[in-house]
Amino acid sequence: MNPRTSLLNFPADSELPSRALRSCRATPVRPENQFVQSTDLKLFSEWIRNALVLVVLLGTYLTQAAQVTLTWDPNPELDIAGYRIYQGGGSRNYTNTLDSGLSTTNTVTGLVDGVTYFFAVTAYNTSGLESDFSNEITYTVVGVVGPTIALTSPSVGQSFTAPATVTVGAAVTANGNSITKVQFLNGATLLGEDTTTPYSFTLNDVAAGTFNFLARATYEAGQTVDSASVEVLIEGLPAPWKSADIGPLATVGSGKESNGQYEVEGAGKMGGMTDSLRFVYQPLTGDGEMVARISSVSTSETGGYFGVMIRESLSEASTFTFMGVGADGYYRYLRRQETGGGTSGKTSIKSLPANTWVRVLRKGQTLVSYRSSDGRSWTQIGSRNITMAPNTFIGFTVNSGNVSVLSGGTFTHVVVVP
């Protein structure tokens, strides 16, 4: 007995044997069996997607194991007992065998991406005799490549000033995958998503803070892949603080906060019947007070003021009380008791750097100003009855003494009550 068999070839990108199986007698395959060439090895492959819990939670890679299914013509002899599949890493150098029984189709699993495998089949009969090898085929496992995603905006190191408008954009390389959507996140917080290219999402009126933007692409059956994150600093003031220039100025001031430190820049002049200055403020209803330490002053002018203020309105002629320091380092107490009226002032002792504390307080229509060298023991510098509406404004103010030149002040240990 000399059992004979042959392998059929499928798909087209698999390697064809260089010569036919010796003494091979192939059995024709019917069209309804889909295989039309009776002398070639039929081969088809698929990827089995094993979604490991860890990888899916990370949303980065899909672990995959390959398999290949071989099929061949049956040997027509009556005493055929079965078929064996031979597998190896080199031509006619087989290291693994798989008994297929009488089945003429079998699947070899556990193949590794990027490796080329060699296959052949033999038939054996009930007497234990085994045929020569069939024609040999090769198959190289080509892995499925997931998509990649990268942020296109904002860029690394880019900064904004609150209230900011920030467009977060992403580019996706699909690598043959179907992209369902792209989500945009700040850390773990979902900001928004886009389902069409170019993928982007715009945030408006963004408050000050540090943001870690990233983009996440969802593809195929719900797998995800994340971009690298980009840290963005949005400078400005946390709620309820706001910042505005008051009065006519040739140079725009600014205010920002970081880790409890407030930096204010302003031009202009304070005094007379109207003011021009930078005011970083929040609303105050009824009684209240504010304490701050003036940590540093930066100025090239001689007529500026740096300190804290309660102001009835944001108009340039508003009534106010102010406690701070001048450009010369001396404590200054200033007030305007009537809207559009004149400004009165008082100079106290010279302040000591890093130990300059100021405080303003409203109780009813009485406004009081204090100074301190340690933030605990306070010396009253001035107190006046100033008629103001119940709703006023309290905050920092900086002016340089020149409407065209900015000066800066840094404030820490800020407390506003209530």
pLDDT digits (tens, 9 = 90+) for 305-323: 999 999 999 999 999 999 9
Write down the pTM of the prediction.
0.56
What's the CA gap between 261 and 241, in Å, rounded?
A: 13
Give the pLDDT confidence score for residue 146 in this predicted structure.
86
What are φ and ψ of residue 58, in 5° steps?
-75, -25
Residue pLDDT, tens place only, 124-136: 999 999 998 999 9
Residues 222-278 pLDDT 10s: 999 999 999 998 888 988 999 999 999 999 999 999 889 999 999 999 999 999 999
Rg for the chain (alpha carbons), in Å?
40
pLDDT in tens, 3-34: 444 444 333 343 332 222 333 332 323 233 33
Q: Give the whole-number percent of the chain exceeding pLDDT 90.
A: 69
Q: Select the more confidently predicted residue: 62 or 176.
A: 176
Query: What per-residue confidence (pLDDT) applies to 73?
Result: 87
Residues 377-416: tens digit of each pLDDT: 999 999 999 999 999 999 999 999 999 999 999 999 999 9
What's the pLDDT tens digit per position in 150-162? 999 999 888 888 8
CB–CB of 101/84 below 8 Å? no
What's the burial of 159, exposed, middle or buried (CB within 10 Å: 0-12/13-18/19+)? exposed
Quickly name the fold that domain 148-234 has. Answer: Immunoglobulin-like (2.60.40)
For residue 362, pLDDT over 50 is answered with yes
**Which range has the worst mean pLDDT, 139-148, 267-276, 294-303, 325-334?**
139-148
Kindly indicate the confidence band of residue 49, based on its pLDDT and cuts at 50, 70 and 90.
Answer: very low
pLDDT surpasses 90 at 194: yes
pLDDT band at 53 (very low <50, low <70, confident <90, very high): very low
Does 242-417 carry CATH code 3.40.30.10?
A: no
| pLDDT tens figures, 236-245 | 898 899 999 9
Q: What is the mean pLDDT of residues 284-299?
A: 97
Whether the predicted pLDDT of 62 surpasses 70: no
pLDDT higher than threshold 50 for residue 44: no
pLDDT at 295: 95
For residue 89, pLDDT beyond 50: yes
**Counting Cβ atoms within 10 Å, is residue 234 exposed (0-12), middle (13-18) or buried (19+)?**
buried
State the SS3 of 76-144: CCCCEEEEEEEEEEECCEEEEEEEEECCCEEEEEEECCCCEEEEEEEEEECCCCECCCCCCEEEECCCC
Q: Give the Cα separation of 59 and 317 in Å (integer).
A: 59
Q: Judge whether residue 335 has pLDDT over 60.
A: yes
Asked whether this chain's domains 31-140 and 242-417 adopt the same fold, the reply is: no
The secondary structure of residue 328, as a DSSP letter, is: T
pLDDT score of 338: 97
At 15 the pLDDT is 35
Sequence spans of domains, the chain: 31-140, 148-234, 242-417
The token duo for 387 is 């008629």
DSSP state of 27: P
CA–CA distance, 393 with 410 (Å, rounded to integer): 20
Phi-psi domain of 188 (left: phi exceeds 0; alpha: psi -120 through 50; beta: other): alpha
Q: What is the rounded distance in angstroms from the CA atom of residue 224 to the CA atom of residue 59?
A: 5
Q: Is the CATH number 2.60.40.10 carried by domain 31-140? A: yes
